[in-house]
Amino acid sequence: MARQRKRFIAGAQCPACNALDTLMLFVEDDVETVECVQCKHRFSERDEPAQPGGQPDPVAVNKNIIGIFKP
């Protein structure tokens, strides 16, 4: 069983509620999934390809990890 590690993404903005630093990145079924802890909006790389002219993909900035969330 793979352990779920949830990491906050620094500087990422939720596309649903526009909150900053509320996005958590974790791997679910081998898919990098991002969830906003504020509005519970969820998306993944597979579900939502980068939109042209839109916001930067939060998954792309996952090098800037500000913390590790352990449930």
Question: Which of 20, 31, 39, 65 is in the footprint of Zn ion by CB under 5 A?
Answer: 39
Pair 34, 25: CB distance under 8 Å: yes
Candidates 3-11, 27-35, 39-47, 62-70; binding stretch for Zn ion (CB under 5 A): 39-47
Phi-psi region of 33 (alpha: psi -120 to 50; beta: other; left: phi over 0): beta
Residue 13 binding Zn ion, by CB under 5 A? no
Is residue 61 helix, strand or coil?
helix
Question: Which of 24, 25, 34, 36 is in the footprint of Zn ion by CB under 5 A?
Answer: 36
Residues of this chain that interact with Zn ion (CB under 5 A) are: 14, 16-17, 36, 38-39, 41
